[in-house]
Amino acid sequence: MYNWRSCACGTSLARHEPGTRGWACGAPGPVLPSAVVTLPDSPFLSPPPRVHVVAAFERPYEHAVAAARTCYSPRGIVTADQVSGVGLSDERAAQRAEQRDRIAISTFKAGHHTTLQHGHVQFGVEHVSRQVVWSLLHAHPFYNSEQVSQRYVEVSEGHATVPRLAGAAGAIYAACIERQMAEYRELIRLLEPVAAAQYFGVFPARGRHADKWAPQVHKKAQEIARYVLPVATHTYMVHTVSVLTLLRYRRMCGAPDTATEARAVVDAMCEALFELDPLLRRMDVEPVDGAAMAGPAWLRAHPQGDSTARTLRAAFDASLGGRLSLLVDRFGSNETRVADAVREVLGVGPAALPDAEAVALALDPARNPLLGEPLNTTTLDPLGRCLHAAHYAFRKRLSHAADSQDQRHRMTPAARPSLHAYLSDEPDYYVPRLVVAAGGAAHDVYCVSMERTWQAIAALRGLGVADEWCGYLLPNAVHVRYTETADLAALRHKLAMRLCFNAQEEIWQASVDETAQIAAVEPTIGLLLLPPCGVRHRAGLRPYCPEGDRYCGVPVWTQPMANWARVL
């Protein structure tokens, strides 16, 4: 890696700071590129996306070829130096380079792409909207990100993507963003008293030192107030992907629902990659022809109106029966499938190991103590892998804010819609529990904010502004609807995180919905789907709550799910 390596002088683990020359010990080192997106006739009035390389795998092109050659090498592992001909005569080095490029291009065109997953790049990404993160950077499983949290970090004014719109359209857009930011701050103020009452109701002893705990109360209020912020709100993050994923980003930039901002971010990432290793330009790909894609082609032939979308949303919501997540499908023999898998691993029959005991060996922390550990080793535990045998499908409705967290569970995938489908004239949003509990002015500010936001969107559409730009004004509260699937291994881990009372409230409620429905039809499995404190309690690990000073204040592990209730 460029960021950590042994220097020629013998100093190990010398750190190279992004954008500077030299290693910490003073030895010369590479310059990691930083790219501010520059576009002719820039569509942004706001600061453009900024991308810089934090750390990168050295010589990913030649390492990919070395990995490919190793597959067929009778003499052991092939190195990048061997691939490039280091130490050979000019003639022999040229022959090696020709062989290198031939292997690289032929394996790439043949679809043998695992070699490109060895090379990774960690980017620092700034001045990008939450919408671009949701719709592109986090919309697939092959990445890792750490993003600033709107739950715990207050959003400052002026941090949002603003397109260059002319005349009245520009004024309407700017006024909407400014109003949403002002309402966010006003809601924090209005929600703090009820948040304090709820917080000190759970922690009465802390109420005697309210000033000390005021920052915690403030964070609870700002977590809920963020629902009125637009998905245009800027974020910053570190984002790590392989060379292969970057090329896939580049290819899919031609899709019609890929935002201009997203294309700019991908262009900056790819240019930074090619600056690090110019040889990779030989593998650059052209963006897909969006007009030829199946979905857009079908929609052109079968145009749909707002009334159709409204009808579909109403039918979807009615099917949920008041839940946030509805179990719509599963393997009817899930418990037997898991039990059979356990018996196959252990090499025994049903007479020796009945279904209920077999399931417990894989799923009960009291029998399988690995489940109580913070490091999720399910995919490496032979009995843990038995949980892949059970599968579920859930129909879900979450806000954009909640879904942005839900999609981070990469092993519970869903086909999420384009937000353009939500640009109706009818407001469509989630109201948080704390806003309902607060009532009065806070509830009024929240609901009026939603009404005004949809009015602004309608006004922009009436002026002919492209849906791409109108969609940026949608609030974090806008509903997103989809069907999500999961095997039991992935679902168990997700529920062990999201049944925690500290989890985002919608994901928590959806997780409660899912657990209760599974328990009703598969009690052997369902009763072992537990929050983190419940898992540790059954595993005999203390303290039962793993959150330390973030303890929610409720001994959830002592209570049946039917008694669970929360507002904060």
Looking up residue 279, the CATH number of its domain turns out to be 3.30.1360.170
Q: Considering only CA atoms, which of 419, 438, 425, 408 is closest in space to residue 477?
A: 419
Which 8-state DSSP code applies to residue 256? Answer: T
Q: What is the pLDDT of residue 19?
A: 38
Same domain, 181 and 253: no
Same domain, 214 and 279: no
Same domain, 188 and 115: no
Phi-psi region for residue 545, left (φ > 0), alpha (ψ -120 to 50) or beta? beta
pLDDT for 241-268, tens place per residue?
Answer: 999 999 999 999 998 888 899 999 999 9
Same domain, 138 and 248: yes
Which 8-state DSSP code applies to residue 348? Answer: -
Q: Which residues of the chain have pLDDT under 50?
A: 1-29
Phi-psi region for residue 243, left (φ > 0), alpha (ψ -120 to 50) or beta? alpha
* Cβ 191 vs Cβ 225: under 8 Å: yes
Same domain, 241 and 128: yes
Question: Which among 476, 506, 539 is the end of a domain?
Answer: 476
In degrees and rounded to multiples of 5, residue 38 shows phi and psi of: -120, 120
* Cβ 514 vs Cβ 498: under 8 Å: no
Which 8-state DSSP code applies to residue 478? Answer: B
Domain total for the chain? 2
* Cβ 193 vs Cβ 435: under 8 Å: no
Q: Considering only CA atoms, which of 468, 120, 442 is closest in space to residue 263?
A: 468
Q: By three-state DSSP, how is residue 242 classified?
A: strand
End-to-end CA distance of the chain: 43
Instruction: Find out whether the peptide bond into 350 is cis, omega within 30 degrees of 0.
Output: no
Q: State both tokens at 451.
A: 């009404």
Structural domain contains residue 365: no
Helix (H) or strand (E) holding 133: none
* Cβ 378 vs Cβ 384: under 8 Å: yes
C-alpha distances in Å from residue 350, one per residue of 148, 347, 367:
50, 10, 18
Q: By three-state DSSP, how is residue 362 classified?
A: helix
Question: Which stretches of 34-89 are DSSP H helices?
Answer: 60-70, 80-84
Q: By three-state DSSP, how is residue 355 classified?
A: helix
In degrees and rounded to multiples of 5, residue 7 shows phi and psi of: -85, 160
Same domain, 138 and 259: yes
Same domain, 266 and 246: yes
Phi-psi region for residue 76, left (φ > 0), alpha (ψ -120 to 50) or beta? left
Q: What is the pLDDT of residue 1?
A: 33
* Cβ 1 vs Cβ 56: under 8 Å: yes
Structural domain contains residue 547: no
Q: Concatenated DSSP letters for 435-446?
A: HHHH-HHHHHHH
Structural domain contains residue 17: yes
The residue type found at 64 is A
The residue type found at 60 is P
- Residues 202, 224: Cα–Cα separation, whole Å: 18
Neighbour tally for 42: CB within 10 Å:
14
Q: State both tokens at 365.
A: 């922390």
Same domain, 112 and 249: yes
Q: Please, which contacts does 468-472 make with residues 24 or more away whose CB atoms are closer than 8 Å?
A: 468/259, 468/260, 468/420, 469/163, 469/165, 469/173, 470/423, 471/131, 471/231, 471/419, 471/420, 471/422, 471/423, 472/129, 472/131, 472/160, 472/161, 472/163, 472/230, 472/231, 472/232
Which 8-state DSSP code applies to residue 431? Answer: -
Q: What is the pLDDT of residue 36?
A: 57
- Residues 538, 99: Cα–Cα separation, whole Å: 58
* Cβ 353 vs Cβ 517: under 8 Å: no
Query: How confident is the prediction for the chain on average, in pLDDT?
Result: 90
Same domain, 226 and 86: no
Helix (H) or strand (E) holding 234: strand 234-242
Structural domain contains residue 514: no
Same domain, 82 and 136: yes
Structural domain contains residue 194: yes
Structural domain contains residue 408: no
Range of the domain at 50: 4-147+235-290
Task: Tell me the pTM.
Answer: 0.90
Same domain, 64 and 211: no
* Cβ 362 vs Cβ 187: under 8 Å: no
Structural domain contains residue 511: no
- Residues 534, 500: Cα–Cα separation, whole Å: 9
pLDDT for 137-150, tens place per residue?
Answer: 999 999 999 999 99
Q: Concatenated DSSP letters for 172-219?
A: HHHHHHHHHHHHHHHHHHHHHHHHHHHHHHH-GGGGGGHHHHHHHHHH
- The dihedral of CA 516, 517, 523, 525: what is its sign? negative
Structural domain contains residue 69: yes
C-alpha distances in Å from residue 340, one per residue of 145, 330, 348, 391:
37, 17, 9, 14
Count of H-run helices and E-run strands, the chain? 20, 10
Residue pointed to by tokens 């580049």: 250
Question: Which among 420, 453, 476 is the end of a domain?
Answer: 476
C-alpha distances in Å from residue 302, one per residue of 24, 40, 166, 421:
61, 35, 32, 15
Sheet hosting strand 325-330, strand order edge to edge: 325-330, 391-399, 479-487
Same domain, 221 and 263: no
Rg of the chain over Cα atoms, rounded to whole angstroms, equals: 26
Q: By three-state DSSP, how is residue 56 classified?
A: strand
